[in-house]
Structure 1
Amino acid sequence: MTLTSTPPSHRPEEYTVHAPTTAQPVQRKATRPRADALRNRERIVTAAREMFVEDGPEAPLDEIARRAGVGNATLYRNFPDRDALVREVVCSVMDRTAQAAEEALAVTGDAFEALSRFAHAAADERISALCPMVSSTFDQHHPDLVAARERVERLIGEVMDRAKAAGQLRADVGVGDLMVAVSQLSRPPAGTGCFVNDRFVHRHLQLLLDGLRAPARSVLPGTATTMEDLRQA
């Protein structure tokens, strides 16, 4: 599986400021980021995401800049430190996962098939590689991160609720159950050199999805897992 390009971020930090044209004080007004600035930012986030998957969150920033085809100054102009870049990569992956959930909700017809397509798309986002980054020292309560997390959790919940309402998804599973399974199947943590296992991901994920279908053939121990349960674990 290959990583696809990251969509334009909604958190740009590079702006053009209009210079005053009179002696009178004028209010500084931020304009839309320039197209080349947005492209550079996108390339940096894409390169960082690839290298974080391959080498973990401590991948050298100068190597990320080199892979993105930009200079170190451009990288630091967009992301003043590693935490800012890691946060943007995490938000970017959550945004892409949320988009996959929105696409599943837009599908009419078989609700479980839509859920299945979402789960396979989420696996392709390499969510497992984000785990060490989410548990790192950067501010997990940053507004961008909180907003992205709340959006993706709400949308995944809607996809699952629709399948439950259709009587196709067993009632004793929660969002956390699905996302733990997807993250564990999507590949071992970054840097373990197990890309060879990629060919098994979607095969094993489909086996899992078959086990989520209703009617359930067994009773699961414990209770349905929420994302809040995972954060408190």
Structure 2
Amino acid sequence: MSTTAPARRPRRDAAANRAGILSAAATTLAHDPHASIDTIARAAGLTRRALYGHFDDRDALLRELIDAGAPRFNAIADAVDATDPAPLALARLTDRLWTEAAHVQVAAALALDETHVEWTAAALAPLRRTVAELVRRGQADGTLRTDVATPTVARLIEETARVVVTRLDASSPDARLLAVRAVLSIAGLSWREADAVLLSLDTEP
């Protein structure tokens, strides 16, 4: 009579090791965007072989970092006030996203590079829907540009935000305002209109 051995439960430290790898990767990549798997493994206190027990390769590790960070940005989009005028709502959204991204700019830049942009777009689907809805609302009431179709304007805003995150120095005191101005400009506001929106943003309690 044969007996079937009970299925082994995953080692209790496996989840902790995986979380440790992700944390070490985020910290290491913030200092060196080109850090190797070996460097990340050492930072996590593991061997290269042990790290590969959790992730197939460096790209898989980066994709999970993207997935782990996306909910914070999607939550910011979920908090958009539907009663705000579209330009103000777009400015607030950009401002809050920039503030969040500035804390993890290197990791955000990695997530938005050409290699991972499609993966990032999928992870940030709720945020992208919010941007498209703001564009539709602004076009409907005439506060945002109507010479370009909604999906195209939304995509242009996304691309502008991507360039801002990957190119602007987050430590610059003007970076936040430049990020908001760039998005509002692509959305169709003149610099004077953008100034008025920014004034409203800066005088909020």
Q: Which band: TM-score by shorter chain?
A: 0.5 to 0.7
Structure 1 residue aligned with 2:174: 200
CA distance in 1, matches of 2:170, 2:126: 32
Give 1:100's match in structure 2, choosing from 62, 76, 83.
76
1:182 aligned partner: 161
Identity over aligned pairs, percent: 22
> 1:61 & 1:25 partners in 2: Cα distance?
36
Alpha carbons 2:22, 2:65 under 8 Å: kept:
yes
Listed as ranges, the gaps of 5+ residues in structure 1 are 1-21, 189-193, 219-233
Aligned residues: 178
Partner of 2:18: 41
Task: Answer yes or no: is 1:160 the counterpart of 2:169.
Answer: no
Return closer, same or farther for 1:154/1:74 CA change in 2, 3 Å cut-off: farther
Aligned pair partner of 1:55 in 4, 27, 32:
32
Instruction: Report the secondary structure of 1:135's partner residue.
Output: coil
Worse-superposed segment, 39-48 or 76-85: 39-48
More helix by share: 2
Query: What amino acid does structure 2 have at the position aligned with 1:23?
Result: T
Q: Distance in 2 between matches of 1:158 and 1:205?
A: 20
Residues 196 and 178 (structure 1 numbering): CA distance in 2 closer, same or farther, change over 3 Å?
closer
Instruction: Return the offset for 1:59.
Output: 0.9
1:128 and 2:113 matched: no
Aligned partner (choices 48, 64, 77) of residue 53 of structure 2: 77
Residues 127-176 of structure 1, C-alpha deviations (whole Å, 9 max, x = no match): 433344x427xxx88xx767425454334323433444454333336222
In 1: Cα distance, 2:144 partner to 2:177 partner: 19
Unaligned runs of 5+ in 2: 192-205
4+ runs deviating over 6 angstroms: none
Distance 1:102 1:41, change over 3 A: farther
> What is the identity, as a one-letter code, of the residue corresponding to 1:51?
T
**CA deviation string 1:21-67 (max 9, x = no partner):** x93688x6989x96x654543443343234334422x3122332444
Shift of 1:81: 1.6
Q: Could you tell me which amino acid in structure 1 is paired with residue 123 of structure 2?
A: A
Q: What's the TM-score, normalizing by structure 2? A: 0.61
SS in 2 for 1:78: coil
